[in-house]
Chain A
């Protein structure tokens, strides 16, 4: 420990003492911290709830209700992150009339922390996406789109580290291959990079350099393409990599009744989740951290 770090930590310690006046004895007991991750995907400009007579979607969804729900969860646990896995745009006249302005403004009001970019977010071209950025008070993260020759350059980060009550949460994004899916005139010189290679690089940085306690991948790759094994999906990504705790997926509009528990490359359990589309559901994953060494040794229990 060098002198500067020592002083910084000593100061942090002082404010800690001043705040709570917690005695030394509190360190002997087990302490728990909970991080709540809330997530949506493929909302596709669905701002109003579905009306009656819309099949299984009847009377579901709606941004104002989602806001009410998120408020309640944040009141209960301020250590909450709100994330979106892309395809924010396209699907109702709100997008046709306002080009995504209202979607971004509402996500900012709901205090989204980050979103990744879906193929439909290019529907008004990369310039159309860029034009709406001033309305978004949240981060766009995507590690495998190289935007350096486009207007989006510097506006999308490969990852972001959030700190909640001392717990470091690294969130990185992955986008789907655009060639064959989106008109090249729309995505222009956006380059798609291999998701697995990028994941290995980014998770190494998040683990070793950023010292993250938790690594989350916001993916728009799609849940599973069983009939097309060459196409990268969330389940394959989970199997092929070793440091992700949770993949929040999108694109395939997959309604998972509960998160899927899958084994990563090292045989360790992790979660893949996706909550359908159109803002009908909100995903919630709670991560509990504690100081009990004995419990930690027995591994992490997953309840879904």
Chain B
């Protein structure tokens, strides 16, 4: 009993003396450690990742359709087979969703040439090809634009002189790259009419300097990634055979 009391008292003394000497921050040392291949990986973590990795690799390598040719964005002047394919697929996949939600139809699609990040090889098309073609998570949006804004878009396209992918819009330029004819649904564009333009959220947010999406009469976010639209389309068809056509051309002579 007396010993317990002694320990108790001793503790009390220690506590009092501890209180008198608090720890204070005296030194800070900062450094950057590069994660290089000279660091030994934790093998348990490696083993844990393996089945996830294998499943993804297997899926990315699965064939979803067949390409009749090799398609590259550098084949074609103002329109390319690969760009036409992408813009047409966006229309094909997005219009039923848009129509279902709004009762309206998409009038045209605009993507950007720079957004075509890879080629489609001839033969088997794998999911991996779509991740390479569209590595970004860009989603399809539909913007309601007055004809006046469509005119600004057409001016942009004529000045860019690039094969920005379009669908449903038919555009020709004269020898000086001025707009010559522009048709939507087989009609000339009326400045007060509202048109529904499907594009990517990236371009809507001024990507590639596309400023004609504002002001607008409304924005519809379909919450559908362009890559997923491509994969979904390819899964439902057997073969693709896109071509360079007359949707965006320069008039010769």
Contacts and interface: CB of A to CB of B under 8 A. Distances in A.
Interface string B12-38: 111101100111111111111111110
Interface residues of B, number: 48
Contact of A97 (B29, B31, B49, B59): B59
A256 to B, nearest CB: 7
B25 A287 contact: yes
The interface centre, meaning the residue of A9, A98, A257, A280 with most chain B CB atoms within 10 A of its CB, is A9
Contacts of B34: 60, 280-281
B46 interface: yes
A14 B25 contact: no
B46 A273 contact: no
A109 B29 contact: no
Interface stretch (A64-72, A129-137, A188-196, A234-242): A64-72
Interface of A: 9-10, 13-14, 16-17, 24, 27, 31, 33, 47-49, 59-69, 71, 90, 93-94, 96-98, 102, 105-106, 109-110, 123, 166-167, 183, 185, 213-214, 245-246, 256-259, 271, 273, 275, 279-293, 295-296, 300-304
Contacts of A258: 30-32
Contacts of A109: 44-45, 48
Contacts of B40: 65, 68
B23 A283 contact: no
Contacts of B224: none
Interface in B133-151: 137
Interface of B: 7-8, 10-15, 17-18, 21-37, 39-46, 48-49, 52-53, 55-56, 59-60, 131, 137, 201, 221, 223
Given A60-B35, A93-B56, A259-B30, A14 B18 contact: no
B11 A94 contact: no
Contacts of A275: 32
Given A27-B21, A282-B35, A287 B28 contact: yes
A291 B8 CA distance: 24
Contacts of B12: 10, 13
B36 A106 contact: no
A64 B41 contact: yes
A141 B35 CA distance: 26
B41 A62 contact: yes
B69 to A, nearest CB: 27
Nearest to B223: A185
The interface centre, meaning the residue of B42, B48, B59, B131 with most chain A CB atoms within 10 A of its CB, is B42
